[in-house]
Amino acid sequence: MRVEKLPPVKATLQPSNHPYLNGAWTPQHEEVTATDLDVIEGRIPDDIDGVYLRNTENQLHQPLGRYHPFDGDGMIHQIDFSCGKASYRNRFVRTRCFQAEQDAGGSLWGGLMDKTGVSKRPGFGAHGSLKDSSSTDIIVHNGKAVSTFYQCGEGYVLDPETLEQEGVAPWVPLDGISAHPKVDERTGELLFFNYSKHPPYMHYGVVDGSGKLAHYVPVPLPGPRLPHDMMFTQNWSILCDFPLFWDEELLKRDVHVTRLHEGLPSRFALIPRYGQPEDIRWFEADPTFVLHFINAYEDGDEVILDGYFEEDPYPPPIENADGYGHMMAYVDEHSFKPKLHRWRFNLVDGTTREERLDNRILEFGMMNQRYLGQPYRYAYSTTSKPGWFLFNGFVKHDMVTGESWTIELAEGRYGSEAPFAPRVGAVDEDDGYLVSFVTDENRGTSECILIDCKRFAEGPVCRIALPHKISSGTHAHWADRSVL
């Protein structure tokens, strides 16, 4: 392995016992480019061609208040596969806020858990006083990577192969974009939403295949909400209004505290891809909160949506968490209990039917993106370590037969969100690999693993060494060479 280190960035973070500034969440401040990566086990297949992109949170400066793991500075890690070889590089996302704090030599904004007045400058996003760290999601559209922030940031563009930074996406509206925009590979369109604290509280938009904003309309809501994901089918886009959102009375004092509003249902908005507000079809369902969906598709008179239903979206604090009990519970899947779930929206009579598909704690679902918005058969979820935001395994589901297969990582080894990479020349939906970065706390190292989805239960067919230990984080994306 040949490693080139880039000049260091400014960092003022001091050692602490914060649970999400240590261990597998230790921030990585080093930027490198590495070629001819060493293979630990197996061999790199020559039928995988593209890039795996991973977004992580890496706090650079001493926090002004109480640090939350979602406050960290965004860093994109990339591994590039071609002709049986692999290279790696990682870069901070140079947001306006990142550069401002580099210039200032320290933190300028408070975090998600801080009270009003901590930030030294006006903030960004739906919250209004946060740093846009662009640390949540990463996708590829129109040949470019787009990094996004869950509280509706500006959306930053990078070259997916070199990670060269190209600034703010030119099509992003004033209210920003939420994490989890979706790309329809059939049409080349990107679908997105945002949310805010002012009427109409949500917008929905479409960016065409050339990267131009083609459609942008309001989706009126009763008040400020906190949607996190969306999905689409061939004809419909699906947006959400869940009963977990900011306390309205506290929000009047600019205090951002979430609570579960008893008595309110979950609501799903189905809007035609280029529809207007008057075209929206609203469907009610059991109260919950959903972080992530897997897929949606049309089946006769029904629209089917698969995702993860939270059984306890307002969990009690984790005890003995050194003052971080609320935060620890909100990022611990075993506290809010997401379960694989299906919603069926009947377009004729307006009713919703629901079905539990698996009773295990599962989240961060992936599937073959070529089938996004279409009927599909296979889904891939992560399992998590109780009490922590750490992935310790993967599950493959056959959504037709109900069968599933599981891979468990060894104690102290933690994975990343694992997108599906179709094999070159693949015909079957599951003919390809899951790609994931793994942080090994036992050895203080990180690696990339490939799992052959045709032989899923056999575990990784290849393990590739990375040049340094990476921090855990949130989301990842696979892009075939053909879309780059």
Residue 333 φ then ψ, to 5°: -60, -30
Q: 228 with 290: CB under 8 angstroms?
A: yes
d(CA 201, CA 195): 5
Determine whether the annotation assigns residue 475 to a binding site.
yes
pLDDT tens-digit readout, 446-482? 999 999 999 999 999 999 999 999 999 999 999 999 9
The overall average pLDDT reported for the chain is 97
Determine whether the annotation assigns residue 141 to a binding site.
no
Phi-psi region for residue 135, left (φ > 0), alpha (ψ -120 to 50) or beta?
alpha
Q: 112 with 70: CB under 8 angstroms?
A: yes
Residue 51 φ then ψ, to 5°: -125, 140
Q: 144 with 171: CB under 8 angstroms?
A: no
Beta strands in 58-164 (DSSP E): 74-82, 85-92, 137-141, 144-148, 156-158
d(CA 261, CA 222): 13
d(CA 284, CA 107): 43
The pTM for the full model equals 0.97
Instruction: Enumerate the domain spans of the chain.
Output: 2-483
Determine whether the annotation assigns residue 77 to a binding site.
no
CATH class of 2-483: mainly beta
d(CA 60, CA 101): 9
Check residue 125 and give its pLDDT.
87
**Helical segments of 338-465, H only:** none
pLDDT tens-digit readout, 311-350? 999 999 999 888 899 999 999 999 999 999 999 999 999 9
Check residue 116 and give its pLDDT.
85
Residue 61 scores a pLDDT above 90: yes
pLDDT tens-digit readout, 105-141? 999 999 999 988 899 999 988 998 999 999 999 999 9
What percentage of the chain exceeds 90 in pLDDT?
A: 97
Q: Report CA torsion sign: 345, 290, 375, 382.
A: negative
Residue 234 scores a pLDDT above 90: yes
Supply 457's token pair: 């239960």
Q: How far is CA 385 from CA 382, 464, 479, in A?
A: 10, 23, 28
**Dihedral, CA atoms, 197, 199, 204, 207, nearest 10 degrees?**
-90
pLDDT tens-digit readout, 160-193? 999 999 999 999 999 999 999 999 999 999 999 9
Using alpha carbons, select from 414, 476, 470, 417 the residue that is nearest to residue 442: 414
Q: 169 with 157: CB under 8 angstroms?
A: yes
Check residue 323 and give its pLDDT.
87
Determine whether the annotation assigns residue 180 to a binding site.
yes
